[in-house]
């Protein structure tokens, strides 16, 4: 199966020439490094600040650690609060990702491979969701979640997050599923597979790259989500990391170094996920944006 999808890539590859990359214009590197520096410096400030003492930070706010201290990071890493918030964020992120992938894949399959009267309308409905960002819906959403008795539960943030991630997911996945050659479906049907059998045996494995893209996007969005937890999670026991960072920052506002250590540790998972799958996500985005 894989070869069928990979076959056309040979032509794609011919477009970008792979032979040895020349060093090119030095000015390019100067500007590129300057830009990368601007992007990275504030992040380094946060990470390095965690290795300093408050005294160091007060005396020399923009200096480097000297001597390096591990105390701040250690004190965060041994605290129950931090790990509870990591667990909450992880559970919410994983449930959101699962929900988005399962619901999104099923709906995208229908939109991509079934011919029916309301197909266009259904696509428009989800596409219109892009114009309903969470900000607009947050006040009534809060009331809705409260009436459903889901306040202070992770379910209360997972369900809306799934719903709000569906438009992007569907817009990315539909072209993927549509690109699966008709011949495969016909072959499967001749071999006696039903539409549903085709879905599970062929579509799910073949759409894996797209699924990874939307999965990572959903996970990172959930991991970083702030506004929804701010409304729904009022009990400290249910806090996710972004709320935790903010609570920690106001609770220990004098202990800047520890706040910086807490902040750096909380961004690690999203950064790792993203660096691993950057290429894939950009590929998915490109397809969606060119629409």
Partner 1 sequence: MTHSLGESRATRTTSPEGPVVDAAGVRTPSPAHGPRRGKRIDRRKTLEITLLSGPAIVVFLAFVIFPVFLAAYYGFFKWKGYGPPTEFVGLDNYLIILRDSAFHEALLHNGYIVVLSLILQGPAAVALALLLNQKIRGRSVIRILIFVPYVISEVIVGTGWSLMLQSSGAVNDLFEKMGLGFLAVDWLSDPRIALWSLMVIISWKYIGFAVILFLAGLQSIPEELSEAAAIDGASYWQIQRTITLPLLGPTLRIWAFLSIIGSLQLFDLVYIIWGQYVSATAGTSTMATYMVLNGRLAGNFGYGNAVAVVLFLISLVIALTYQRYVLRRDTAGALTEGKN
Residues 181-240 binding partner 1 (CB under 8 A) are 182, 185-186, 189, 195-196, 199, 209-210, 220, 223-227, 231
Q: Hey, which residues between 239 and 258 contact partner 1 (CB under 8 A)? A: 241-243, 245-246, 249, 256
* 288 near partner 1 (CB under 8 A): yes
Cβ-based nearer residue to partner 1, 71 or 186: 186
Min dist CB 237 to partner 1, Å, is 19
Please give the size of the binding site for partner 1, defined by CB under 8 A: 125
* 279 near partner 1 (CB under 8 A): yes
Distance set, CA 56 to CA 46, 73, 77, 160, 251 (Å): 14, 16, 22, 43, 21
* 150 near partner 1 (CB under 8 A): no
- Report CA 240 to chain centroid distance, whole Å: 15
* 87 near partner 1 (CB under 8 A): no
The window from 64-72, 73-81, 90-98, 280-288 that contacts partner 1 (CB under 8 A) reads 280-288
Rounded Cα distance, 129 and 161, in Å: 13
Min dist CB 17 to partner 1, Å, is 8
Rounded Cα distance, 233 and 154, in Å: 8
* 174 near partner 1 (CB under 8 A): yes
Rounded Cα distance, 70 and 75, in Å: 9
For the chain, helix (H) and strand (E) counts, in that order, are 16, 0
- Report CA 111 to chain centroid distance, whole Å: 24
- Following DSSP, what letter does each residue of 127-156 receive, concatenated? HHGGG--HHHHHHHHHHHHHHTT-TTSHHH
Binding mask 116-145 for partner 1 (x = CB under 8 A): x--xx-xxxxxx-xxxxx-xxxxxxxxxx-
Cβ-based nearer residue to partner 1, 78 or 118: 118
* 153 near partner 1 (CB under 8 A): no
Min dist CB 235 to partner 1, Å, is 17
* 88 near partner 1 (CB under 8 A): no
* 101 near partner 1 (CB under 8 A): no
For residue 64, give the 3-state DSSP assignment: coil
Min dist CB 26 to partner 1, Å, is 10
Sign of CA dihedral 91, 96, 97, 99: positive
- Report CA 35 to chain centroid distance, whole Å: 24
Min dist CB 262 to partner 1, Å, is 9
Min dist CB 20 to partner 1, Å, is 10
Which residue in 107, 154, 211, 218 binds partner 1 (CB under 8 A)?
107
Binding mask 20-59 for partner 1 (x = CB under 8 A): -xxxxx--xx-xx--xx-xxx-xx-xx--x--------x-
Which residue in 67, 78, 183, 291 binds partner 1 (CB under 8 A)?
291
Rounded Cα distance, 237 and 233, in Å: 9
CB 98 within 8 A of CB 216: no
């Amino acid at each position: 199966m894989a070869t069928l999808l990979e076959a056309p890539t040979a032509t794609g590859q011919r477009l970008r020439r792979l032979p040895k990359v020349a060093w090119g214009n030095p000015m390019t590197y100067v500007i590129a490094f300057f830009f990368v520096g601007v992007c990275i410096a504030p992040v380094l400030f946060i990470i390095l600040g965690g290795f300093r003492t408050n005294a160091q930070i007060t005396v020399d706010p923009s200096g480097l650690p000297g001597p390096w201290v591990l105390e701040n990071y250690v004190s965060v890493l041994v605290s129950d609060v931090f790990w509870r918030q990591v667990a909450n964020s992880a559970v919410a992120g994983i449930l959101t990702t699962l929900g988005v992938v399962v619901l999104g894949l099923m709906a995208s399959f229908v939109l991509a491979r079934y011919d029916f009267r309301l197909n266009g309308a259904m696509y428009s409905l989800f596409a219109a969701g892009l114009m309903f960002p969470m900000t607009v819906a947050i006040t009534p959403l809060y009331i809705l979640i409260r009436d459903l008795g889901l306040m202070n539960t992770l379910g209360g943030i997972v369900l809306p997050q799934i719903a709000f991630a569906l438009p992007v997911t569907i817009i990315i996945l539909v072209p993927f599923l549509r690109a699966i050659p008709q011949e495969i479906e016909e072959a499967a049907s001749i071999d006696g597979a039903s539409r549903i059998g085709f879905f599970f045996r062929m579509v799910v494995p073949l759409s894996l790259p797209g699924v990874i893209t939307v999965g990572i996007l959903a996970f990172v969005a959930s991991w970083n989500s702030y506004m929804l937890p701010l409304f729904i999670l009022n009990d400290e026991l249910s806090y996710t990391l972004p709320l935790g960072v903010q609570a920690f920052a106001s609770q220990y506002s004098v202990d800047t170094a520890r706040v910086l250590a807490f902040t750096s540790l909380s961004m690690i998972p999203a950064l790792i996920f993203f660096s691993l799958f950057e290429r894939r996500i950009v590929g998915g985005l490109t397809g969606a944006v060119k629409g």
